[in-house]
Structure 1
Amino acid sequence: MLLHVSFLKAQEVKNYSVEKIDEHLHRAYRLKHNARYDEALQKTQEALKIADVLEVDEKVAACYNIVASINLEKEKYDHSLEYSFKAENIQKNIRDFEGLIITLTHKGLAEAKKENFQTALQYLQEAKTIAKRYNINRLMSRINISLGIVYLGKNNLIKAEENLKSALPVKDPLEDNYLRGKTMLLLARINENNEDYAQAKEHALEANNIAKAFNFPLISIDTYKLLSEISEKTEAYQDAVSYLKKYHTLEDSILSSERLASELSALAETDAEIKDRMIGELENENADFGQTVKTAKLTSILSSALLIIISLLTISLYRNNQIKIKTNQLLVKKNNELQLAKDKAEKAMNTKAQFLSTVSHELRTPLYAVTGLTHLLLEDNPSKHQEEHLKSLKFSGEYLLAFINDILQINKIEAKKLNVKKDDFSLHKILNDVISSLNATAKENNNKIHLVFDEKIPPFVIGDSLKLSQIFINLVGNALKFTENGDVWIIVDVIGKDDKTIDLSFKVKDNGIGISKEMQHKIFESFAQGSVQINRKYGGTGLGLTIVRSLLELLDSEIKLSSELGKGSTFGFDITFNKSDKVKDAEDILLIDKKDNFLEGLHVLLVEDNKINQVITKKMIEKKGMTCDIASDGYKAIDLAMEQAYDIILMDIHMPGISGLQTTQEIRKFNTKVPIVALTAISLDENTDDFYKAGCDDIITKPFKPEVFYKKISKNIVASLQNA
């Protein structure tokens, strides 16, 4: 029996050749490009059969790659990855680096379609490294096109276009014309997104010509759809309708239900063929083992038993495969429904966040006029009657500003726009600054703020000082609001430490009105203040404690409350900081002269496009004896900065024409010494790190308090003098 099998196999080897495998593989690629997937899979199966007989592992892996590519185009990404992994195992074992590059591009595209962009880029970077190491230049076009597809999926149009253009002219041993057509189509999509409709149409027509010449129907379908969209956007409605008709006609012929069923059946048959191949390998191994058995009868029994088991396994695999196909179809349907619901929810959330951010941002400009003019009028010795009205106006403006700031902060937290920063800072100084900023508020209700600070705390720790300041400003401000003729304590204790970290306990305690047990679980909700009566009496937005809770969650901590009506409240939390080797802050070296005439004689360039803001800010500058030039846009600011020497430049960020950040970058090209302070109403999408990267030395947020305005100017002037 074994002699008979060996004879048959020898006959097969005689009739087959590697050239025959290549012929089938090239034919399979052409059929795939023509969207004739069932025929392509049939040719791949024929090639795989020959590769098995000849035992050519390189060609077996090449067959797996074609099946992976077809599954990729049929949007069966998990199946594509499954066959890619099979090919990869063979290629790494036999060091087939050219085949491995193709496999890695398939894996990268499959992961990108599943929106695992980081994993996709890792696979493609690995492919590029192999190509460069082994000088496989003829596959670089395929790698760059794949990178372009991934970046397009990430909506990074610049990098997508850069990679696609670097792939030209397309050179690929297997799919040069197909990839060239696909590249033109992708470039057309990028041009459309950039609203360069003329270039988009040119690339789309070139893609269509390639698709027609070589019969690439799927590229033609996408091209007609894109040309219809471009024609509609350029108001060529007759062309749009014509292209749309061609799109539907071709789509109906290619994506008909009968054809889809045939392709699905072909994919299932290929899976079964691959599994049969694995079973065949088991049979061969068993046959080899049987040759070592001396007793022919035992060999026959074992072979029969193995065949029965394999038959049962085959039946089981077939049934499981059918169940898997049905389950996958159901899961795809449910996933699509869930994705649609998720997209709608995210769109609604983004719309809300953007609306609130825009409203908050736009309100700051008129608020700046209100608070600025009020400050100037209060300094012009108004009558007692006028002073009362102006103070009321000032209070209303500051209250509205606090409300806007709270809304913007909540918006940033919900949109996950806040990141935790790790810097060296003096905890003692941060708390003293909070107390200094709230002393005026404390005096209004005849309160006193006390700091109880553990001496074992080091001079500096590493953490997010800004968020910690915001937490204490909200907690202490809250305590002062609900306390009259009383005391507020900030208590900091060490509760644990090791060589690298220190655990601190923070408490903000007051002897104010307290909070009832029933209301304690509600006050951390947005716009909640315990009761309507409390809201009417004490005012406020009801967002402070919500912000505190959210900021502490970012710092891996949580707020704790202990309170009793009439006996005050205690808010506490614990934070672990990294220890710092720093012993002295650079700001301690800055000896800012606090005399009234310190700023006198300074020459300031104010860059501001809003006329009202120009008037107010200029008066505030001149109030301290400084002189001021005004630039209404970035271009004029650059000219003035080149012509004259200024002690400091105050730069509005949002301006028509050229933004404040671009203006700063241009000035920094010829002047790196002059301090530049950004004036901005920071919105949801802005990142303060971008300001410093552009060359700004500091930031003043509009509408600003006069004392903050003058302090920031003084600080940056002294810093520039010391760095001179």
Structure 2
Amino acid sequence: MRQKMLIDRKLLVVLFTLISVVCFGQQSSRSENVQNIQIDSLLLGGIYAMEQADFESAIVNIKKAEALSIKSLNQSGEAISNQLLSKIYFERGDPKLATPLILNAIKLHQELLELDNLGQDYLIYSQILSKTGNYERALPFLENAALIFESTRDEDSRVQLATTYLYEGNILQELKNNEEALLKYQQAEAILNKTKGKHSYLLCRAFLQQGRMNFLLNQLDTALSYANKAHELSLNNNYPQLEVDGLNLLSTIYSARQEFEEAFSYLSLYNQKRSSYFGENNSTAKNVAIRNALLANINADDYDPAKRVQANKITTVLIIALFTILCLLALSLYKNNNLRAKANELLQAKNAELMIAKENAEKASVVKAQFLSTITHELRTPMYAVTGLTHLLLSENPTEEQKKHLDSLKFSGEYLLSLINNILDLNKLEADKVEVEQATFNLRKRVDDVLFALERSAQEKGNKLNLEYDEEIPDQIIGDPLMISQILINLIGNGNKFTRDGDIFIRIKQLSSNESQTYLHFEVEDTGEGISKKKQKDIFQNFTQGSVQINRKFGGTGLGLSIVKRLLTLQKSKIELESTLGKGSKFFFDIKYGLAKSKTNETEERVYEIDYEALKGKKLLVVEDNKINQMITRKILEKNEMMCEVADNGEIAIEKVRFENFDLVLMDIHMPGISGIEATQKIREFNKDLPILALTAVTIEENIDDFYLAGFNDIIPKPYKVEEFFFKIHNALKRKNVIL
């Protein structure tokens, strides 16, 4: 059986090689065809030498093939030669020699559109980059290789895809992304399990790596299960290196489980086997290891040295027969050459069109970024008025009913502020620059705030909000409270938009928990319009709605569900949808939260240590061109019995600081005339010690470091929480010894 498989593989190599010879050399002379056959013979000889671990002979044969390929303008032969040489040099520990060879192979295979060989090139180059510590550069090449192997469904490509996943997992492990690495190893195992034991070496590696990852993630039972599978498979198939690696992992896991007798037993067996396998004749062992690595992708397990001579005789006879048949087909293939030439011309024209489209897309991206940055800044200015006035109203002893509405307004203001900072600024989200906060908060209170904020709009449409909340969920959990509020507001608001005189169900239950984290399931279900199967695929894209009619009937930007998807992706979760047209929709997702070490009834707001008494009587200069913002800032300061003067622009601010004494300056950045940065630089020319704080709506293209270089002591981004506002003023005055 092994002999037959070996012969079949050789025949396939010869068949495709000879076809390429005939197609490429249709109009060439007979001597050129003979050269191409010589190239193929030298390459086969090199591969045979590699199988025998005779790497010097392999290099000689492949280099001859490379030289003959260059001389006869056989790019395919040159590319394969470069690929094989690069693989040998890399496995022998010489990445400097391997790198230029594999890069040339990539270039040639891209030009020839030989995708299978190109996928192999990407695998080799990614290993070279990983070996030299360039893990992040290696990942895109593995992703491209995976795309190539996914495009075909034959078993060899599936095995190559599994190999790619194993390499990706190794790189992600080096980058400390253990959960993502575990996912890649699981994908590799799923593919290899379908090969029915034909690729047991790769499957054993997948088991071993999953054991290591589960150990690093402190999932010791699962780690032990995979370590045992790897050890058993290595014993059954005689894989010495994997066997000793499995023994080492078993010893480590049992030690972590504090089962020290088992740990010592496996450690002793590990040392014994390691000495037995690798203690002597190290050079031979190394050559065998290199040979296995080189042949990992061409079924090295099928190789049988005892039957090689007989197989080569049969192969030689079949080569002659196949060559005779292919020569008779030469005339019919001439037409195919002409068709390929026309296809190449069409491909070049399409490439030119794509380059133009790429340039246009880049220009549009720049315009979009500029627009979003401008609109974000302009929206922050009125939001400063909303949050500031809300604070002032809350401090003026409102009635209980008024306080309830003001709290709702405050919550909505915080949500709108987050929307402005992280959502409208889509280029920030798309660049993955939004960070997930880790704060302790009360989930039930967050959900109640969301429902209260949306209750009135639901009532106006005749809808009822129904909450089903699992009381087993801990009171205090650790995660991003604002993100879950945004997600629920978008999902509930979406359900309310498309439902009339119906129900919206919000279900939150605990799936599992342990001492350090809880795993929660969220559902938002409505009885509204529903979404067709066709539209469900696109509903989470930017600016997408069910149809034009829905947009005209219900309104909206089509951003809400896209925002939900992005926010959940940041938290390593995924939004799911079930919907029937005319009957309603259900959105659901699972998410992990940490648990606080001790239960507390304290609010989730940060506690600021501020000595308000020390701030009384201090004289501040507010530099702000917006009259409403001037009034709000002045009132907030004067309520704390601080003295406040206002400057409408930077020029006035400079003169006031020059001739009057102030304890601190609050400086806006974007003003008519000179900017806040320029004004601060001029003030620093004659006053180095005066605390100056930037009170501004910072946009993403502004470099925060530039503020400090200009002479600012700190930054208060608008809109702000009043407690944070006074906290930064207090700290700035304290650092300059204005207050004790």
Same structural fold, with TM-score higher than 0.5 when normalized by the shorter chain: no
TM-score (norm 2): 0.43
Higher-Rg structure is: 1
